Structure 1
Amino acid sequence: MKRTILFVDDEPNILMGLKRMLRPMRDKWEMLFAGSGPEALAIMAAQHVDAVVSDMRMPGMDGPQLLRRVMQEHPDTIRFALSGYSDQEMVEQSIAPTHQYLTKPCDERQLVSALEMAMNARELVPNKAVLDKIARVEHLPVLPEIYNRITAELAKGEPSPKEIGDMVAQDVGMSANILKLVNSAYFGLPRHIAAPQQAVIVLGVNVIRSVILSLHVFQSFEHMGRASFSLPMLWGHSMRTGAMARTIAQHESLPKEEVDHAYIAALLHDVGKLIMEAHCADECVRIYEVVRAENRRVAEVEAEQLGLTHAEVGAYLLGLWGLPPQVVHAVARHHDPLPKPGALGAADLVHFANLLDHEIFVFNEHYAKATPTPERLDAIGGPERYADWRKHVLIMGLGSEDK
């Protein structure tokens, strides 16, 4: 089935250029073109649109206004901004309602790749009721104490980028938000940024202050009531799993890019739990009641009750946000008991780092403990290699037999 893409720009020459550039995609995409925000909304009211790509500066209804309307009225439509990144004010207005931001001029390969990856990510979530809730996510919740520490640092006369970066890296939601921002085309960076600390330094204190304080991009968990699980424990698990995945990748002498992918995927592997807790609270309460009463795994009960897991939910949002496909893939299948063919990669490292942390640290005696399947162990060379990884992370001080 063809996917439908709507391009919106008030300059006819831009639309004509897009038509010519994307002519090779006619067999895969149905492409629609609108010269204004109201025209785009009229088209979307008449037919389903998989993705909308909008210019930012348009008379009347501008790009951010259009994309926010799309987010509210057509939440399952993927939202792209296509504009120059030098207009900081317009960029700031479009951060929340935009999944990804591409800059003009944008070549065919970049545009097609970004749209295809985002639309493929949406297929990870078959439950439309859950998908509609997640698709409206503008940002991820953060732990109140981390948020308060960062705002206090930003209020100083000369805040330290290093201190702020270290604080950001201590929260899963904050890390995901900052990495989404720094790796978009908002700032035109020529390389991928893998670590939250590096992202803060690259963006600079002024941008971080604008994003966190002025735009209220971050929402604190303190306004959400009681969570279904321990947020500090989730944070600790995510931090340790990221460190373990990076340590194992370095131990296996993988290329730096693969090490980075493994680290960030492991750090964010449970980000779907944050999303579901913030936007599917009632469902989460029921899921965790069953998990504790029947001593079962969270992902197993999620799949039973919702037809999806937090792994797929997290991968879906990260895919919409344009994180590398290796990261999205690793997050999506970090519970997968069966191996996939290919060389050792981020998906394997996240899977086993997650298991290692659950093995070394007891989170809840009422949660069933996951263990590696024989198939996954065989795929990495047998249980001896897993034992070697376990020994290595313990030597590096990432776990303790007594905890």
Structure 2
Amino acid sequence: MNSLAESGKRYTVMLVDDEENILNSLRRVLRGQPYDLLLATNGTQALGLFELHRIDLIISDARMPGMDGPTLLSEVYHRDPDCMNILLTGYADVSMITKAINEGHIFRYISKPWNDEELVITLHQALEFQAVRRDRDALLKLANEQNNKLRDLNDGLERRVAARTSELQQTADMLDLAYDELRRNYVTSTEVFSLLINQRLPRLRQTNQRVIEVVRAYCAASALSDTDTRDLTMAAALYNIGKLGWSDVMLAGCADLLLRTETEAFKTYPGKSEALLMALEPLHDAMHIIRHHQEHWDGRGFPDRLSGQSIPLGARVLKLAVDFVELQCGLVLERYLTRDEVFVYLRQHKSTYYDPALIEFFIQVCTCHLPESLLDPSVKVLDVRRLKPGMVLDRNLSASNGLLLLNEGKILTALLIEKLTAFEAVDGGRFSVFIRAAEVQ
């Protein structure tokens, strides 16, 4: 009872009875309560007042002429389910009470004559129940509204997140493309730089581009990843950058001779190459390949004397490619080797210089995927029987024992060709003679 008074809210209560004395009695009982009272003597009048006012609770007599109480309360319920209904009856009519409960959804029924205190308590309970129900409905409505707003916010957030994610993915894709382009540009830049290295080398000693071609052919045939191919290609372009501090005489010399006369300088060039590239992050993996490309399978190479599988795979491949090219350019031994002689050399030194598991596949790549003119398209390799007077020797010609027979640039005559034929028969082998292509008809 106190809770309604403390709330400070007033309620509108309608009293319906066809007897004036009953209405007066009810009004007297409810005097002093926080109610605004409306009075009606029949159902029709009650419905008329119901249309004009927002009514919180109705107390209706059960038996009235015309429209009885259960019918009135049923109509009220259909118009406003929130209105609290109490049936006032002087007869224990079960069917009428049942109708009031089922159709009028009454909160309670009170028998005549009533107890004043019980009546007041019943009204308070009904209105408190109504207040709780209204608060619950208001909270549910607020919760639904907030849930709808939250759902809209979530939907909007998801759309924004999806849009942002798509934007970030596009940005990431663009960055990946830019990074790939940067890596490709690094490869191109290293190849351009390798051409600068070649400016200090004689024409026949310009090996970098040729090593790159060998490496590319190997990578394609072995299906190495794009990253490994890129790293190995950059290593091939810059493997000898550490030689830039050498004198022209050393640059033109062969490894076999330099290892006897300039051992310290020769063995430090892979490490110097690595040091020159250390500040360039995209070359990080390539520089380790360069550092170890002169390691030997048996552990007797340099600079770190690595052996077997401890040598990076890229370095083992680069070692084969470099020697394949440099052996034919006179940069390893004191004589030039033909391609077939290089293949023999590689097989002879497997398990000492080279990874034995790579040799045959490497030779197959060189045989099937590289042109005969790889080293220099302006040079042809002929046997002695195909030589003709007037041809110009492009490289020094040596016997199998290393004896120099003819110097580079020598113009062949019929007499020289005849002597070469005779010497070849005595030597027991076949000479491969490098002739300038312009002279070959």
Q: Same fold (TM over 0.5)?
A: no
Q: Which has the higher contact order (CA 8 A, sep 6+)?
A: 1
* TM-score normalised over the length of structure 2: 0.29
* TM-score normalised over the length of structure 1: 0.31
Structure with bigger gyration radius: 2
